[in-house]
Amino acid sequence: MIHGVKPFEIDNWKENIYAIAGNLAYENINLPIPPYTGAFLIGDNFIDKLYVHMGFQHPFKYEYLEEFIFENGVCIETRDLSKEAKEQREKQKSTEKASKSLPPQWIDEQFDLSYRKKW
């Protein structure tokens, strides 16, 4: 239960983008949203073979990637970035083949939480 609201089950939860955490969902929980202006990414179906055991995983390592853009606490736009994530994976694959060793810059990037540098 969140904020007095019980979850309900989604029958087709595997096809439902809003059920990322499984077959339970909530509606109308009426939680206040701070006056946040900016964006964040939500990814689904992490590609296990791209996992790096250090730092933070890059957004392009998810098969499905959605960007949510907020202005003063209101979601004004969502963008499906799955195609761009796939293109980034292809670009990364060709770059890694050309490089035989991991440069210090690559290692530093694994620990960077900056939104702009990750995407």
- Work out the average pLDDT over 110-114: 75
Query: 63-75 pLDDT, tens per residue?
Result: 999 999 999 988 8
User: Do 72 and 95 lie in a common domain?
Assistant: yes
User: Do 81 and 52 lie in a common domain?
Assistant: yes
User: Do 12 and 68 lie in a common domain?
Assistant: no
Comparison of pLDDT for 63 and 31, the residue scoring more = 63
For the chain, the domain total comes to 2
User: Do 10 and 44 lie in a common domain?
Assistant: no
pLDDT of 93 reads 78
User: Do 48 and 94 lie in a common domain?
Assistant: yes
Distance CA 46, CA 3 (A): 30
User: Do 25 and 41 lie in a common domain?
Assistant: no
User: Six-digit token pair at 54?
Assistant: 């250090």
Instruction: Kindly report whether the global pTM for this prediction surpasses the value 0.85.
Output: no
List strand residue ranges (DSSP E) for 20-82, in order: 24-25, 38-46, 62-71, 74-80
User: Do 43 and 4 lie in a common domain?
Assistant: no
How many other β-carbons are positioned within 10 Å of the β-carbon of residue 103?
9
| Enclosing domain of residue 46 | 34-118
Contacts of 6 (CB under 8 A, 6+ apart): none
User: Do 44 and 96 lie in a common domain?
Assistant: yes
- Work out the average pLDDT over 10-38: 72
Comparison of pLDDT for 103 and 87, the residue scoring more = 87
User: Do 73 and 107 lie in a common domain?
Assistant: yes
Locate tokens 């290692």: which residue? 107
